[in-house]
Structure 1
Amino acid sequence: MEKIVLGPWVFTPSEYTISDGSTETELEPLLTKLLHYFAVNPGKILSRQQLVDTIWQQSYVDDNAINRAISELRKALQHPALSQTPIKTHHRKGYSLQLQPLTSPAISTIAATAAGQFSEPQTATISVTKKHTSVFWLAPLALLLLGIGGMMFYFFPAEPEPVTQSRQSDGKPQIIEVDIVNQQKITWYKGIESRPLLSPDKQLLAYSHSQPDGAIRVLIRKLGISSGNTLQEVAIESNDALYSVQTWQPQSLNLLIQAVSKDGKQCEYLNYDFSQYPKYQVTKLTQCSGLVLGVAQVSLDSQWLYYSKSSGGMYSSNALIAENLISGTTQTLHAAPSAGLGVTMLALSGDGSKLAYILMPESNKPDIYLYDPATREHSLVGSLPFAILLLGLEWSIDQASLILPGADGILQYRLADKSLTLLKLPDGVTVGELSLLDHNQAYISALTAAIATQGSFQLVRINLPFNEAERQIHFVNDAAGSSMALAVSPTDVSKYAFAANWTGGWQLWLNNDGKNIQLTELAQDDPMPINSISWSGDGRYIAFIKQANLYLYDTQRHQLIPKRQSNDVGQPIWLPDNSGLVLTLVQGKSQNLWQLDLVSNDLSQLTFTAGNFAQYDSNGQLLYHRDGKLYQFVDGAKQDIELKANSDSNYMAMWTLQADQQYRYSMLGHIEQFDVISGETRQSQLPYQLVGLHPDPHNPDNLYATVFVTPELALEFIQWQPAVAK
């Protein structure tokens, strides 16, 4: 019996039906024939005459009959999980089916689901009904926001030079261009579908689903044709918690999931046993301290849980921790570095004998380590020669290589000879996360590319942020595209500068008394956003960062000045006398504060034990951050005074200063204000996912913030082969 999967529908032509697993619709014979014709010609524009010749097979058919048939078929195919029309009209050309039929044996089909409660499993029917929940943002999506938001300097890898040798001695990868021979969208829910994870037996696919209303759940799909020939998915979700998929346990059908309460106060690692799929058993493994940049992994013998943990909250460096799930004791396997993100992604080999993990140092050039649980030995197997923000780490099918997705390519690091191979993907194909089905087939998420576009970041103005009864929140702009960083002029209450990608690329804009004016004409094809905007105290110059380069905009001469073009700069802040800037500078594996003199262009080093996010307080005293703590600068080393340590791991490990107020925020929407003079602390929670705070220097009752708006991002299945020479 022929069955065709079309988006959320399973189409059975011989029975004249379409089914989504919970409902079945019977189609008229004419509509069945019409849908089958579209299904065997997916994506092709079929003219009205082609439809007449194939479907009606008459010399003449009234236009109204064709219109009515198309309209009725569209209506039958409508589904809450679809974000676009199932049949697209091409003016004066015809119609095309927008639902790609899934024909690969790797692609699954849908029907029953189950819902889990926080720590308590409970079976229920899947529903796409909206839930009004608080907002949340989990790693690795959080990791991406950090990279784009200006807290890291690089996003995409630098383009390596082509090489011809099969093994490289200079650390550069061998580049192999590949063609995509099969690419199919496999999910259709609204929101972000990310972190695809294939079970060790390649029979189950798990992934996270961030919904437009802020809820996050985990979906587990049965691959291949199941009993009843319907698509099967299990949903782990509840009204009390948000779920993030972590990893599969080696050689088992145990899935590790992190559950965090929506107020951020409770965090648990849960084990879901899917050996009797779709039924499952859930077991609480241990508590967790909150959000971290990375994932966790259970050992083959179920005795150990490996995860990354920070001591100072989000963005402070992570250590690699091993927790004994029997005794509850913990061990630090790799200490957190003094700066950088530290340990992020990790993955056990298929046989559980080796743990691979990524260490992100200050330079953001990832170090790749292997840990042997049997001998307790660590080995640095290599360092990537370029800066890149990695969201995935996977072992190859033969366990001989590590696989690292990198936006427009897939890196393969061969452990035996430490050689790098870059599979260069064709234009238009982006891989941020992946899970291998075979050596040349994978389920992927394009998480790295779409997140900064499609209006995903927006600026809001918050009046009376700590008075929930009278608080008002307004979106600053209504233009299509994203806007991100913002800084209010220190001399003119009616002006603020901000970054937006409204014209095909990120540019610096000025809002002058409600009117938006584009200030720069930077390269349109550069995906990197503008961030870290800072006005000079006299209001003349605007400093900002793009691609880790420093620019100044002269508001008097209306001139853009490229100030430092070495791809190593971040987070500029003006000196109180406007004579220069304090910068975060990355050199090799060192990240420190430096002072730049604008007249001589001379640089002088300020900190010698790592430092970032410099700011000046109301007394002109330089403060900066190191490892999740706020310091007062004295000598840049041992004499510097620790002022504050982050006490809540859900908060970003940094404070934003404005006059005598210190602000910090969490991705859960929390904002905290500390008054240095009175010692009073005020807190509030916004109904948005926060990416940045931008205080108004003229009005303490106003705050600007960058918030995240969930875009549409689906999972795909791809198959590739070496490109054919042309």
Structure 2
Amino acid sequence: MGHVVDNEISFSRKIKHVILGHWHLSIKHQTLNDGDISRELEPLIFGILVYFIRNNDRVITRQELADEVWKQNYVDDNAINRAMSELRKALKSEKQRAQIIKTHYRVGYSLSVVPEVEYIDVSKQKETPVSPAPSEAIESSDIAERTDFKITKKMKFFPGVLLTLVFAIAAAYYFTSSRASKSQEQSPVTVKETLLSWKKGVSVAPLMSKSKRYLAYTYKGSDDTSFGLYIKNTETLEEMRLSEDGAQLYPIAWSEEDSLFYQMVDMEAEQPCQVWKVDLAENGINSNHSKLFDCYGINLLHADTSDNGKTLLYTKFNYRNIPNLSSIVHRDLEKNTEFQISSPQVSEFGDYFVKISHSGKKVAILRKQAKGVKILVANKDGSSPREVISVDYFVDAIGWSEDDSRLFWLNRDGTSIVSLSINSLELSYHTLDTESVEGGKIGINLVDESTMIIATDYADSNLYSLSTNELQPKDFSSTNRLEITASSLHNNEAIMYLVGWKKQALWKAENGSRQELFDSMPDKKISYMAVAPNDVKFGLANKDSIYIYNTKSLELVDEISPPGLISDFSWPFNNTLLITYEVDDKANAWFYDLDSKKYVLIAKDVLGAARVVNGNTLVYLNYDHNLVKQNLDTGEKTIVVELSAAAKLRWTVNERFIYYTEDATTVYQVPLNDQNNKVKKVAHTHEKEIWRLTANNSGKQPELFLTLIEQKNNMLLKLDIEFKAPLD
């Protein structure tokens, strides 16, 4: 599922005009009129004003204006001052003497008046009904009533409601009409698979050279202690191995002239992360290697080159001093200088992939969100960035069509190749008849629209239990399928756990025996589960819906579809769910009453999960990456622990402790109600990576369940794709 971003352009398609005090702002003509005078706004001033209207319920910082309106890496303070002065001047007249823009000292700006919005009558353009999302002011709105809710042409809103309703309607309408008119039917393609390596072990990070003469990949055999870098000549089949004692080597980019850029990660070195280069065009396999520069951290980099290898665009970590947050950086390898070309928000999870167009003029960037990915296109220097689409699944890599008119990528959730026209934003899909792209962790190199190199799934996930007084996780369930998650019953020592991805099964472990409850569940891609406190019902959820079952009969008794992408859910009270869902890149936590079918907002700006413990304490991760506890009776909030924007951050909570990991290998424990908040290390998983942490609801040992990812042998394949119909 994809949707086009709701920005100033799409805003203008749904709003006729806005009333600000005595001013009428025409969105179409970008003019202000108070009945006596009319003023045409410059594009920048209009953009700033529209941004204030779209976010009128809060204070806008100067940095946010730089990021979201100027869309530049750096904006001089004087430039912002001049623009704000021009905007204030434009908003003053004989009729409108009071200031419309309010300054908050050392904080930012906000609107001092409540906008009145007149909408274009979308009912005449599209007959599909759209249900607005529940807002803070409509804390107990019935779902059926929301479906029939109609907005009159002119309504006055409280600030908190205006933003929610405008974007719920605008985004839903635009997404519905866009998807209906701009998506082509899926058509199958023929896939030919060729095995590229017979070595037994783990292959990752395949990368074909731009000349297609060399294939680089990282490999570790069963007897190896570290990953080595292999370079294979695709014509002679000659192969070279690069290795460094104790270090891991990964290919990250090729130049047009067969220069390979690779990353060296050595935890024992003074500089753990380094970028190197080898010019294979000189002496082939026997070429010399040279170190280029030191990089930050140990995360795997992604990069691309232009200007015959003189320019390197790569993912640079420690963006805004957050270790695991990355942006894209442009590095001049001749001058050894660099500058930043992308600016993700701290509330986002960073820019992790960049691809330069064939012309060398444009770049495509992948930006990780709490749920899914944004795809952006910009000039090579980062100027004029625009979001072209947002999808609710993970995208491993992206490529440009030969003529640079389209972007294409692999949707592993739908096992399909997706193509997006840059100009029309038209999407097309082609299903792939292959199982090679399935699994949790694979390596993907999109060589072109008809060729990809795949390092098949090299990760197996298994369930472990952890008693914190023993420090070492114990094997709970290990099969040849993916163990997803577990949830304990509250009133007896029984555990329900989910196995598999495409073909899922639900199991129950009780009194030393195991019973399969559901075999070959429908293809719903369940990711979350929870059990009611009285154990009478349990729920399974994917990104779109929550399915409620009777625990004894296993009968489906209810299905809930929140008006947004589900980030997580839990079951704190017998008749109440706690659901976190995302609308327009903002996730809030809601109580959902199973009897009345009504939502009540309890926390805004929630990253992922929220949990209720001890009856009245809400715990969640906020957009500043702080774990917060909130008293549901008084509303009082306290930061329990400050964390980083780590891509591998996981956490859970029980009645006494919060458990978390930032590196996916070390588990820490911090008291929930101790003022000292002393952090204690309780487990280390070594080479196994923590995918999920789950607290045991029964209050008994083990306190935690861990879903751990372990490496397994895989294959290195070439996939040749023959399309039965053109992509565009």
- The one-letter amino acid of 2:599's match is L
How far off is 1:692 after superposition?
1.7
Q: Give the distance between the partners of 1:423 and 1:531, measured in 2 at CA.
A: 25
Partner of 1:600 in structure 2?
Answer: 596
Partner of 1:444 in structure 2?
Answer: 453
How far off is 1:701 after superposition?
6.3
How far off is 1:283 after superposition?
0.6
Q: Give matches, 1:461-500, under 5 Å.
A: 461-464=465-468, 467=471, 471=472, 473-492=473-492, 494-500=493-499
Within the alignment, does 1:550 sit opposite 2:546 as a pair?
A: yes
Partner of 2:665 in structure 1?
Answer: 669
- The one-letter amino acid of 1:409's match is S
Q: Give the distance between the partners of 2:667 and 2:179, measured in 1 at CA.
A: 49
Partner of 2:533 in structure 1?
Answer: 537
How far off is 1:458 after superposition?
1.0
Partner of 1:710 in structure 2?
Answer: 711
How far off is 1:205 after superposition?
0.8
How far off is 1:176 after superposition?
5.0
How far off is 1:513 after superposition?
1.2
Taking a change above 3 Å as real, the CA distance of residues 265 and 626 of structure 1, as seen in their structure-2 partners, is farther
Contact 1:437 1:443 in 2 (8 A): yes
Pairing partner for 1:621 from 617, 620, 634: 617
Partner of 2:199 in structure 1?
Answer: 189
Q: Give matches, 1:254-293, under 5 Å.
A: 254-261=260-267, 266-275=272-281, 276-279=283-286, 280-291=288-299
Contact 1:256 1:298 in 2 (8 A): no
Q: Give the distance between the partners of 1:619 and 1:312, measured in 2 at CA.
A: 37
Q: Give matches, 1:501-516, under 5 Å.
A: 501=500, 505-516=503-514
Taking a change above 3 Å as real, the CA distance of residues 610 and 648 of structure 1, as seen in their structure-2 partners, is closer
Partner of 2:342 in structure 1?
Answer: 334
Taking a change above 3 Å as real, the CA distance of residues 438 and 542 of structure 1, as seen in their structure-2 partners, is closer
How far off is 1:305 after superposition?
4.5
Partner of 1:353 in structure 2?
Answer: 361
Contact 2:214 2:234 in 1 (8 A): no
Ranges in structure 2 where 5+ consecutive residues have no aligned partner: 1-177
How far off is 1:656 after superposition?
1.6
- The one-letter amino acid of 1:553's match is Y
Q: Give matches, 1:29-178, under 5 Å.
A: 170-173=181-184, 175-178=186-189
Partner of 2:104 in structure 1?
Answer: none
Contact 1:625 1:631 in 2 (8 A): yes
- The one-letter amino acid of 1:508's match is L
SS, match of residue 537 in structure 1? coil
How far off is 1:642 after superposition?
4.2
Taking a change above 3 Å as real, the CA distance of residues 402 and 478 of structure 1, as seen in their structure-2 partners, is closer
Contact 1:358 1:369 in 2 (8 A): no
SS, match of residue 543 in structure 1? strand
Taking a change above 3 Å as real, the CA distance of residues 546 and 484 of structure 1, as seen in their structure-2 partners, is same
Q: Give the distance between the partners of 1:513 and 1:578, measured in 2 at CA.
A: 25
Contact 1:593 1:611 in 2 (8 A): no
Q: Give the distance between the partners of 1:616 and 1:328, measured in 2 at CA.
A: 51
Pairing partner for 2:394 from 389, 395, 398: 389
Taking a change above 3 Å as real, the CA distance of residues 708 and 600 of structure 1, as seen in their structure-2 partners, is same
- The one-letter amino acid of 1:664's match is Y
- The one-letter amino acid of 2:212's match is K
Taking a change above 3 Å as real, the CA distance of residues 214 and 705 of structure 1, as seen in their structure-2 partners, is farther
- The one-letter amino acid of 1:426's match is D
- The one-letter amino acid of 1:193's match is S
How far off is 1:390 after superposition?
0.6
Q: Give the distance between the partners of 1:598 and 1:239, measured in 2 at CA.
A: 59
Taking a change above 3 Å as real, the CA distance of residues 594 and 617 of structure 1, as seen in their structure-2 partners, is same
Q: Give the distance between the partners of 1:327 and 1:674, measured in 2 at CA.
A: 47
SS, match of residue 655 in structure 1? strand
Identify which range, 295-304 or 311-320, moves more after superposition: 311-320
Taking a change above 3 Å as real, the CA distance of residues 653 and 520 of structure 1, as seen in their structure-2 partners, is same
- The one-letter amino acid of 2:503's match is G
Contact 1:363 1:590 in 2 (8 A): no
Taking a change above 3 Å as real, the CA distance of residues 254 and 410 of structure 1, as seen in their structure-2 partners, is same
How far off is 1:482 after superposition?
2.9
Ranges in structure 1 where 5+ consecutive residues have no aligned partner: 1-166
- The one-letter amino acid of 2:417's match is I
Partner of 1:208 in structure 2?
Answer: 218
Q: Give the distance between the partners of 1:653 and 1:314, measured in 2 at CA.
A: 12
How far off is 1:263 after superposition?
11
Taking a change above 3 Å as real, the CA distance of residues 272 and 427 of structure 1, as seen in their structure-2 partners, is closer
Taking a change above 3 Å as real, the CA distance of residues 430 and 722 of structure 1, as seen in their structure-2 partners, is same
Q: Give the distance between the partners of 2:269 and 2:617, measured in 1 at CA.
A: 35
Q: Give the distance between the partners of 2:532 and 2:446, measured in 1 at CA.
A: 50
Q: Give the distance between the partners of 1:663 and 1:640, measured in 2 at CA.
A: 19
SS, match of residue 567 in structure 2? strand
Partner of 2:419 in structure 1?
Answer: 412
Taking a change above 3 Å as real, the CA distance of residues 264 and 345 of structure 1, as seen in their structure-2 partners, is farther
User: Residue by residue, what CA displacement relative to the aligned partner does 1:302-338 show, whole Å, maximum 9, x if unpaired?
Assistant: 4655315466999986544456778888755333236
Q: Give the distance between the partners of 1:507 and 1:360, measured in 2 at CA.
A: 29
Contact 1:585 1:592 in 2 (8 A): yes
Greater per-residue helix proportion: 2
Partner of 1:645 in structure 2?
Answer: 642
Q: Give the distance between the partners of 1:417 and 1:679, measured in 2 at CA.
A: 53
- The one-letter amino acid of 2:496's match is A
SS, match of residue 277 in structure 1? helix
- The one-letter amino acid of 2:538's match is I
TM-score (norm: length of structure 2) = 0.63
Partner of 2:314 in structure 1?
Answer: 306
How far off is 1:499 after superposition?
0.9
SS, match of residue 187 in structure 1? coil
- The one-letter amino acid of 2:207's match is L
Q: Provide the aligned length of Structure 1 versus Structure 2.
A: 533
Q: Give the distance between the partners of 1:263 and 1:643, measured in 2 at CA.
A: 34
Partner of 1:568 in structure 2?
Answer: 565
Q: Give the distance between the partners of 2:374 and 2:212, measured in 1 at CA.
A: 29
Taking a change above 3 Å as real, the CA distance of residues 510 and 263 of structure 1, as seen in their structure-2 partners, is farther
How far off is 1:614 after superposition?
0.6
Pairing partner for 1:198 from 182, 192, 208: 208
Contact 2:202 2:220 in 1 (8 A): yes
Contact 2:230 2:240 in 1 (8 A): yes
Q: Which has the higher contact order (CA 8 A, sep 6+)?
A: 1
Taking a change above 3 Å as real, the CA distance of residues 322 and 457 of structure 1, as seen in their structure-2 partners, is same
Within the alignment, does 1:690 sit opposite 2:687 as a pair?
A: no
Partner of 1:151 in structure 2?
Answer: none
- The one-letter amino acid of 1:714's match is M
User: Residue by residue, what CA displacement relative to the aligned partner does 1:483-505 show, whole Å, maximum 9, x if unpaired?
Assistant: 2211233332x211211239x82
Within the alignment, does 1:424 sit opposite 2:431 as a pair?
A: yes
Taking a change above 3 Å as real, the CA distance of residues 211 and 662 of structure 1, as seen in their structure-2 partners, is farther
Partner of 1:631 in structure 2?
Answer: 628
- CA RMSD between the two structures: 4.0
User: Residue by residue, what CA displacement relative to the aligned partner does 1:573-620 show, whole Å, maximum 9, x if unpaired?
Assistant: 233x43312111123443222221121121223334344211234573
Partner of 1:68 in structure 2?
Answer: none
SS, match of residue 384 in structure 2? strand
Identify which range, 639-648 or 195-204, moves more after superposition: 639-648
Partner of 1:234 in structure 2?
Answer: 240
Q: Give the distance between the partners of 1:316 and 1:625, measured in 2 at CA.
A: 16
